[in-house]
Structure 1
């Protein structure tokens, strides 16, 4: 038998409370002393030799008188020991219940922590996807309207993806919202862009901002600070309405037409 098996067997043994052990030992000693004294009294005190003066009936009465008190005492002791054991069991059950509550609370905290970590990871994945869309948007704009040609949307625009997105949406917002004397010039320069290209640009911007709620707080703050949705809405409101077959291709800009069969 190995040491591990010995320890497992020892764990299975239920030990008696120390108070109960002391009571059991004390009563056992008293019982032994009681029996010894009773036998000594029967043999040497009454009328030695006892067998000469005690008949069978007297021996029966004598033994009954000796062991009846012991039986009562042991019955009382059994009740006391059982009560003590029940108290210990209640304490153990209470302790186990508290331990289980603590474990359940710890499991809930672990689940909440894991859920938070999953949300953070998902938000970071969305941030990466948005970064990719921002890079593709800038590259597409630079190919479509090379900055050196002096186009309104890309001329002197920054080459960093996020900075370009902020500048792009700002130029769209100013062209559609500014009421100053320069508004007509900026809007006219924006209208020099092919309508299909402009709608495609606005659709891609809406596709990026649609991921805002699933991204991290930092990315949400960036997208909110770019006023992209407001800029797109103002430009779309001032554009001449395209034919229905065109609006259906841009469901984010014209959701009602996109949902129409």
Structure 2
């Protein structure tokens, strides 16, 4: 314990002034200052005590065992004093180290959050790039399905020039124009959407390709959407609504329901947070 205390209590290091002379800097810790003053006074007291009661000549002639016993008792007070001072300083150092560790932990936590946010932003940027290409792909599939069912090769509801105009609109960047046409055709009571999507082998192939492409887009969105904002925007887009209808009407596969944000639960949680 004394060795640990001695390691903590740093002795003043000699420093050279402008003239090259060496001098000692006074320690800044007030506890060490008090201990040094008390130690100096105690040594002076011992010197006076020996000079007046024993005599330096008699003291130097004492047997080694008696001198050792005297010095042990004389310096026991100083040993105890510096032990206590060392313990207090050690506690201060430990407290400073704990505070430094706490600050480092906070800094590390902030860095971790920043890294996570950066990673999430990178995922979202990648998703939006892939999403744009996928939405155009889905739009092209929906266009082929529309031509197969409503164009001249289908029931003839749309002429070739009308189909061409819609393709031009698609080429100008409106990737969901074909999906909107499907959604605006009417209600399931008026139109047999099951036959429209899966009535022929070609239509079924187009519809299943559409469902597969949109499902892969949904899976990719889940990896970069912690608040379901991207998911909801996909589901309630024209492609998303058409995908839901295709999934519901598939003749052989029972698709699981796509989970979206529950508006009522969200509003309730928002109301609770505002009340708090």
Instruction: Provide the TM-score with structure 2 as the length reference.
Output: 0.54
Structure 2 residue aligned with 1:221: 233
Determine the C-alpha separation between the residues in 2 that align with 1:197 and 1:81.
Answer: 90
Determine the C-alpha separation between the residues in 2 that align with 1:95 and 1:21.
Answer: 22
Structure 2 residue aligned with 1:116: 120
Contact 2:59-2:67 within 8 A present in 1 as well: no
Determine the C-alpha separation between the residues in 1 that align with 2:63 and 2:165.
Answer: 125
Question: 1:154 is paired with a residue of what secondary structure?
Answer: helix
Structure 2 residue aligned with 1:251: none
Determine the C-alpha separation between the residues in 2 that align with 1:75 and 1:128.
Answer: 78
Matches within 5 A, 1:35-74: 35-38=46-49, 41=52, 67=71, 70-74=74-78
Change (3 A) 1:99 1:231: closer
Structure 1 residue aligned with 2:163: 154
Question: 2:236 is paired with a residue of what secondary structure?
Answer: helix
Bigger proportion of residues as helix = 1
Unaligned runs of 5+ in 1: 1-12, 238-253, 257-261
Shift of residue 117, structure 1, vs aligned partner? 2.0
Q: Which has the larger radius of gyration?
A: 1
Determine the C-alpha separation between the residues in 2 that align with 1:255 and 1:30.
Answer: 96
Determine the C-alpha separation between the residues in 2 that align with 1:156 and 1:165.
Answer: 11
Change (3 A) 1:103 1:32: same
2:37 maps to 1:23: no
2:91 maps to 1:78: no
Shift of residue 127, structure 1, vs aligned partner? 0.9
2:177 maps to 1:164: yes
Unaligned runs of 5+ in 2: 1-7, 12-27, 255-276
Structure 2 residue aligned with 1:195: 200
Change (3 A) 1:23 1:57: same
Q: What number of residue pairs does the alignment pair up? A: 214
Shift of residue 56, structure 1, vs aligned partner? 7.4
Instruction: Provide the TM-score with structure 1 as the length reference.
Output: 0.57
Change (3 A) 1:40 1:125: same
Aligned residues: CA RMSD: 4.9
Structure 2 residue aligned with 1:247: none
Match of 1:232 among 240, 246, 252: 246
Which shifted more, 107-116 or 132-141? 132-141
Determine the C-alpha separation between the residues in 2 that align with 1:210 and 1:140.
Answer: 19
